[in-house]
Structure formats: C-alpha cells, structure tokens
Amino acid sequence: MNTMKKLSLLFILVVLLCLPTTIFSQSASEGERKYLFESMETLTGVPWYFLAAIDQYERNIQQARPDLPERSGSVAIAIPLDRWAGPLNPDPQDVIPESIHFFGGIGRDGNGDGKADPYNPIDILYTIGEYLSRFGTTYDDLRIGLWNYYQHPTAVDIITHIAKMYQKFNTTDLYENHFPIPLQYNYTYRSTWGDRRGWGGIRIHEGTDIFAGYGTPVLSTCYGYVELKGWNRYGGWRVGIRDVNNNYHYFGHLGGFNKKLKQGDIVKPGEVLGFVGSTGYGPPGTAGKFPPHLHYGLYKFNGKTTFSFDPYPYLRAWEQKTKNKTTKK
C-alpha cells in the first residue's frame, strides 16, 4: 500500500471516529445526516448539499415506486448491484475492491475496512462522491455527472434544485407546509380532483379549486424551487414549484404574479407568489371564462414518469396546521 493511500485511509478512519453513533440508524436527526454528508464532502470534494440531494431524491422515488425496496436509515441511496460490482462480474454481491475495479464496477471502500459493501452507508456515499468527482465539482460538472449516472433530465433537474435549497438554507430540514390562501380572507373549496373537464378535450381535473375573490394573495405551500412561471393555455398565468419531497406544486389561473418572483427563485412556506384570478382557457391574457379561483395541483416524478395525485387531503392538513400556528402566535 503506497503512502498516499495509507494517509487517505487514516483520514477516513479519523472522520468516522468523529461521527455520532446514532448517525447510521433510522432515528438519525437531520443535523446528524448533514454532518455525515459534510464529512463525505471533505473526502470527495463533492458539496454536501449535492450528496444530500441525491439521497433525498432516491428516498423520494423509493416511496413513490412499489417496485423499489425502501432503504431505512440515514442513507437511502441504492446503487444497482450490476453497476456496483461491474456489469460482467460473475458475482453481483462482490465486495472485493480489486475485483470490482477489474470488472468496471463503481463500488468503493469508503470506511477503510477492506470491503466495498453496497449496503454500507459510508461505502455508498463515498462511491457516489468519488463517481461524481471524476467529472469535476463545479455546478455544471456535477450536472454532467448526474446525467451520466441517472440518464434522465428530470432527475438531474430535481436533484440540482433540491441541492440549491439545501445550500441556501444550510439544512436538510425543509419539510414545513403552509395553506396557499391567507386564513383571514374568504375562501371555499372541496374535493374536485378527478372530476371531468371538457375545454380543450375530455380530461380529468388534476387539482383542487379554491374559490376566493380577485386579488387574494396566493402563498407558497412549501420550501421550494420555482421551476416554471408563465402562461399555460389551460392554467393561465401559473407558477410551478418543486419541494424537497419531489412534489411539484402547481398554482394556476393567477391574476398576476409577485413582481419580485422569477424562475429559479427559492421560496419559503407562506411567501406570496401571486394573486387569485380567472386566467386561462385560451391564448395569453385570456380571462373571465369562469369565477376567480386558485387551481392547486400536486404532481410527483417517480424516476420514470410524472403523475398527478389528489391534493385535497394535504390542503385540509395544511389548513389546520396553519391555523394552529397562527393561534400560537
């Protein structure tokens, strides 16, 4: 073993000794998980928030896909065994670093125990970090690395958007939600997801309509990255926001936007996005074909496709949580 490799392994062992004992358990706190990602940044040069975003993305798609087993514990990343051990490796469970390297696998020994274990959280994070660092560690370099790994543009965008949120707030604890209409305004809504709609062709209603007066503020329901802002012939003036749970929050039929809001912004729960209107069902500027309301939709990407799901139960829960928070103040 050469001197540089010995020093690297010694450094890895020192870092591991500093990690809290609970960090690998299912009960690991967000702060402990962040410390783990920061430790891997020290080892690989890949920013902690990118490593954390990859882990969160994988956690999200495991929850959305019944064909994928959910990994418990502090790290949810699941590297396919043929990729870990090498596509031509006769032993897909191979943990010997030398033979994995020989067969072109990406699996690496991250904790210095002489094994490249595809189920060990340190080995997994070190492997992902080492893989991405081959492409460089700038923002653009990492997007190229993510593309080479996932081969899907939506996955690359979602991971980088989550990473930007983690970087901005310097935490992974960004799960707070807020009702999209200020509670002091008059509004009404019921479950309308799945109802029939006919304009532009027969389709189902992919959201919940919250009826309120013109100009009523529309608030962000989450910490999120503004992926879209502009006109849609069905939704009129609309905003689309991605949260860290891989939910895409859609706010449609707006009468106008918050003038400071732009695509690429990162918003907080309760932040003003725009105002209730009646735009849509035609070319840009069309309005008044229906009463003023907010069309609120929820979508999720599962690693393959994007699908709509009923936002009504979530709105009810967020309405109550927002009321409780307001009462405490």
Looking at the fold, whether 201 and 290 belong to one and the same domain comes out as: yes
User: Is 239 domain-assigned?
Assistant: yes
Looking at the fold, whether 236 and 262 belong to one and the same domain comes out as: yes
Which residue, 263, 63, 51, 304, is CA-closest to 160?
51
**Residues in a beta bridge with 249:** 241, 298
SS3 letters across 219-245 = ECCECEEEEEEEEECCCEEEEEEECCC
The CATH number of whichever domain residue 272 belongs to comes to: 2.70.70.10
CA distance 21 to 14: 14
Provide DSSP, 105-161: -----SSSSS---TT-HHHHHHHHHHHHHTT-SSHHHHHHHHHHHH--HHHHHHHHH
Report the domain count for the chain: 2
Looking at the fold, whether 165 and 195 belong to one and the same domain comes out as: no
The token pair that represents 208 in the structure block = 């919940």
Indicate the pLDDT class of residue 206, thresholds 50, 70 and 90: confident
- Is residue 186 packed enough to be buried (19+ CB in 10 Å), middle (13-18) or exposed (0-12)? exposed
User: Is 153 domain-assigned?
Assistant: yes
Looking at the fold, whether 205 and 131 belong to one and the same domain comes out as: no
pLDDT at 171 over 60: yes
Q: Phi/psi class of residue 62: alpha, beta or left (left: φ > 0; alpha: ψ in -120 to 50)?
A: alpha
Looking at the fold, whether 162 and 198 belong to one and the same domain comes out as: no
User: Is 199 domain-assigned?
Assistant: yes
Count other Cβ atoms within 10 Å, centred on residue 278. 18
The token pair that represents 275 in the structure block = 């105002």
Average pLDDT, the chain: 89
Looking at the fold, whether 161 and 202 belong to one and the same domain comes out as: no
Indicate the pLDDT class of residue 1, thresholds 50, 70 and 90: very low
User: Is 192 domain-assigned?
Assistant: yes
Q: Determine the average pLDDT of the residues in 102-116.
A: 94
Looking at the fold, whether 147 and 196 belong to one and the same domain comes out as: no
User: Is 178 domain-assigned?
Assistant: no
User: Is 180 domain-assigned?
Assistant: no
User: Is 9 domain-assigned?
Assistant: yes
Q: pTM (2 decimals)?
A: 0.88
Q: Determine the average pLDDT of the residues in 306-329.
A: 89
Looking at the fold, whether 247 and 276 belong to one and the same domain comes out as: yes
Q: What is the pLDDT of residues 258-269, one digit of tens each?
A: 999 999 999 999
- Note down the domain range covering 249: 187-328
Looking at the fold, whether 154 and 202 belong to one and the same domain comes out as: no
Looking at the fold, whether 28 and 89 belong to one and the same domain comes out as: yes
**Crossing angle for the helix pair 48-64 and 30-44, nearest 10 degrees?**
120
Looking at the fold, whether 192 and 165 belong to one and the same domain comes out as: no
**Crossing angle for the helix pair 3-18 and 30-44, nearest 10 degrees?**
170
Looking at the fold, whether 210 and 243 belong to one and the same domain comes out as: yes
